Amino acid sequence: MPATNSDVRTRFEAVSLRDRRGAWSFTIAMVVGVAGFAAGMRAEPPPAPHADMVVRDWYFRESLNAIDDWEGILARDAEELPAAPADSATIAGFPVPENGETVVWPNPVPEPLWACGPDPEPVHVRLDGGAVIVRWGGEGDQGRESRVAVGEPVVGAKHLGGGGKSQWYHEYVRRFDGLLAFRPNSAPFAMRLPPTWNPRLGSNRADIEVRNVSNRPLRIAVRGAVHERRPDETTRERLPAGRGLGNAVDRRSVEPVAVELEPGATKSIPFGFSLRQPGGALVRLEVDCDGRTYRIDRLAHVEDVAAILGGIGRILSDASVGASDPSALELASMRASMDRLAADSASDVGAAWSGLFLAASALRDRLLLAQVDFNDLLFVKRKPYVSEQPFMDGHHCYNRPGGGIYRLSPVSPTGSVTPVVESLGLGIYRDVCLHWNGQSILFAFGNGKDRPRPLPGDQYPEATGEEHYDLYESIVDGTGLRRIRSDAFNDCEPFYLPNGQIGFTSDRAEHIVMCGSDIHVASLHVMEPDGTAVRQLGFNVFNEFNPSVLPDGRIIYNRWEYNERSVTSLHDLFTMHPDGSHPAPFYGNATIRPNVIMFPKAVPNSSKVMALFTGHHGQTHGPIGTIDVGRGVDGESPIRVLTPGVPVIGERIEDSRRGWFSEPWPLTETTYLCSYTPTVRPWHEASWAIYVGDHHGNLALVYRDATISCAEPMPLVAKPTPPALAPALSESDIATGEASLLMLDVYRGLTEVARGEARFLRVLEDVPRKGVPTGGVICTSGTQIYTVKRVLGIVPIEADGSAHFVVPANRNVYFQVLDANRREIQRMRSVVCLKPNEHRTCVGCHEPRTQSPPNGLALAALRPPDRPAPPAWGAGTVSFLRDVQPVVESKCAPCHTRDRGANRVILTDDLTDQFTIAYEELLPYLSVANAMRWDNPVDVYDQPPYTFGSNASPLVKLLAAGHHDVALTDDEWDRLTTWIDTNAVYYDRYETYYPNRHILTGDPDKSLRDVYGRRCAECHGKESDGRTGTWWRSLDRHDVKGSRMLTAPLSKAAGGSQSCAKVVFADTRDADYRTTFEALGAVAGRLRENPRADLRSLVEPPR
């Protein structure tokens, strides 16, 4: 017998809301056994204490649907919902009684959608003379108070789901935030709205009480409208990704009502409206009185039952559940009830609809939690990291302390939480790793000391400068706690290795990040269980972080690199053996999306890896997905995103209408534990909680703490220990250690290059920044790269394309394919780092890594490895001023003098602010790579041969064609083309006395700019910052008087070149000439006392 609507209303008794301080709480009364419900439906127990938090969490996540719709309504109808100007004479905002009486501003957000955030404070408003007094909180001496002008916008409340900006530059815009502000304006009446606001599906009524506070009769008219987004006619269920909504907005007017009021009289005005669609709606109330309109916008929400039932259906479909299964019967009954209620949405069905939402949510959670097949869960309580880039979350940065490590048993919101470790003091607990036997854990505790930058409103305990992270171990019940080792370094991310050692990441290598932020980078290390015999595994120039162990015994980790490639786009997965040998790309080394892959973990009983996909800048959050390298090692094909609607983000953190995920733990290929926040702002202290989720976007709360965020969920179960891979022949890490590499066929991957063209392989080193911990970005080149370069030498390529050679161990080396003239054909824009005595083989150059090696014995393999032959000027780091400028001085500068009238290009060795004139003026004639652009495909993907370097550079083509009979010696050609192929690096070291190499600073720079403005700008333009040329901001390093800003404007009679269109300085007695001379002389004096790094390279031994 079908159930009637009254039966349904009885079955799903309404959710009642009360204030949570006496505030408001959820009470669920579900009557069992109602006609039309599945016979197999279980009776629910009385609500337990945890039930309140679970239901709050359901509504917290529902706020995403509501906000999505509110944003759509406000965006699509902006032209029809104009914001009232502050000085509008007709639209006056929120009415405040002119007699000084206090009224309460009606918070526009429905009460259930404040579920997990701070309770909104009541906002009391009254006029006081010509100003408005606004009080948040209690009356009398309670709360905080502000005095504002009439009509001045006042922020009444802030919702957790609203937009905002971090301390960096990531701003999330939410239009509905504007409705949480109001403009108080004087009115001749007082208006009181119902104290609670929770409209539901179907008919609603919100009576409005108005009272005339003036001394004259008033006519008050109330009108309104309801705005709802129109569902897409082709999609009934609102899917997590976009939810099937169309862009159109339905608007329905509310019947206007007018009342006449004598002075002091009060009347109640009925305001009835209906809500017909699940999701968010806008209810606009306009009150007309005395020729003015007072506008009050209120937001509404109807639970999206269809989306929940759709998710349940997908869960059951995945499990191949038959129609007679009790859960399937429940679902069928709920769908029938939903259809009946939706068909009767003009009547009072809201309570029943809310009850149906609760029952559907409970069924979904029950099905998801049933997929958790273990009894105990470890997790961490901590406040979200606040940082600019994911690697900073890994180490170094000072963050908000608090929390601990906890155990939940059983794994459900009904479980008991017991502390494992929370007694180590004020700091951050992080990076928990469970031993395969399930009996002990490793973790890091402490804090970073770099860059304490609180978010607006945050108050951090003051950093002492002594903070660092140490590693600890304990039994899973918290006993046996021991600190493994402690020193001044940051040791984080510990993990057990199958051979009994402990791996971890540490900044003890003293490498400094290149692209800004004076902080250390992390490298992979290993030690014995007692903390002794610390050994560095990874020697990457940049960061290595988020390690874990694969089932085959390899370490998988994230490696950031930007050797002549995009600084933002390549934080991807690599693997290495536990002895540090055989580092190799796993996925994404030529993939632009995602930018960063974090927290990689092997999926049980699968070859896939699950990870978080996040962006270069911003906190560690984004979508969760799996990577199947059986489908490829780059691009989209290997990736499957498991969190619909959450964007796979690039360099900048993009907007998400579905919240953010972090720290996934795979249960299967399609289900996972995670930390998740249903907000767009990821830095809320207490918005993150532990969930179980699936690939359809279904989520069920596992645990939430109302006071602090939760992270790092981990099943407390034993699992098989991976094999202990055999170590390399020697674990020596001596500085002079060497390895060898055999390339089988350089032409594999170079299909455009004819056999025989590749004759040599150049071996280079990307040099780490060590010993220079401050200075931010330190300029090394004018070609948009970050690193210093060392040329180790060249080796021959055999006729079959093979090469066999020695490389220094524990160094970041890379290679370039050269032609017979030793000019670049192709370059490697990554690095490889081998261990001492390691012997590696590679197939070719830029060949697909899934390609098999050639069948046959390489010629180079028949002989011992070649030792790279260093260039004639030595195997030190490259310095333009030392190694290349002499060639330019000898062969180019005699013609390319300081006379711009005679030369389009000036090639003298005069010093500019950061380089030399010759260097800066040669750059436009080079073809070089760029590491400083963000998310540019050219800087990520492999480029064809002859894209970069000497063969592609116009300068080399010009000289090779016989430019004015200039003839370079072999040594000069080698110097020039080698320098170009090192991406035209300028400096040979990171050390610098001058901030980012600038020498034209302070008072001398000001004096030069002033003179330029007075005497030069008339002809040369107002740009006086040197960006329009190198002529005036330069210094003759041999003789200050020869500097172009002194000679070009000076008359020939006075010894100048008089290159300017007119004489500027008649003689050297000119006051501005003397000012210029003294300023440049001051710069020269500073350089004599503290030479810039390029000048040091002339007198100090090569590095």
For β-strands 184-187 and 94-97, DSSP reports them as parallel
DSSP string, 932-943: SSSS-GGGTS--
Quickly tell me which residue has 């009486």 as its tokens.
Answer: 101
Structural tokens at position 850 = 């899934």
Mean pLDDT computed over every residue of the chain: 88
Predicted confidence at residue 50, as pLDDT, reads: 64
842 vs 945: CA distance, rounded Å: 19
Q: Which helix (H) or strand (E) holds 166?
A: none
pLDDT of residue 15: 35
The alpha-helical segments, DSSP class H, found in 160-304 are none
Contact 258, 221 (CB under 8 A): yes
Contact by Cβ (8 Å): 756, 797: no
Measured in whole angstroms, the distance separating CA 998 from the mean position of its chain's CA atoms is 31
Question: Angle 350-369/49-76 helices, nearest 10 degrees?
Answer: 110
Q: How many other CB atoms are found less than 10 A from the CB of residue 219?
A: 11
The whole-model pTM stands at: 0.91
Gap between the Cα atoms of 526 and 534, Å rounded? 6
The CATH class, in words, for 377-715 is: mainly beta
pLDDT of residue 89: 47
Which tokens go with 443? 């973790």
Q: Compute the Cα dihedral for 399, 405, 406, 407 and give only its sign.
A: positive
What does residue 1046 show for φ and ψ, rounded to 5 degrees? -95, -40
Hey, what amino acid is at 811? R
First to last CA, the chain: 90
Q: Which amino acid is at 208?
A: I
- Dist. CA 682–CA 658, nearest whole Å: 12
Q: Give every residue of the chain whose pLDDT is below 50, as ranges.
A: 1-47, 84-89, 233-246, 1024-1028
- SS3 assignment, position 535: strand
**Count of CB atoms within 10 A of residue 734's CB?**
10
Q: What is the CATH number of domain 87-302?
A: 2.60.40.10
State pLDDT tens for residues 1043-1071: 999 999 999 999 999 988 899 999 999 99
Whether the domain at 87-302 and the domain at 377-715 fall into the same CATH topology? no
Q: Where are the domains of the chain?
A: 5-47+306-369, 87-302, 377-715, 728-992, 999-1103
Q: How many residues does the chain have?
A: 1103
Residues 285/294, Cβ–Cβ less than 8 Å: no
Contacts of 532 (CB under 8 A, 6+ apart): none
For residue 257, which of 287, 212, 218, 298 has the smallest C-alpha distance? 287
Question: Alpha carbon 857 to chain centroid distance?
Answer: 47
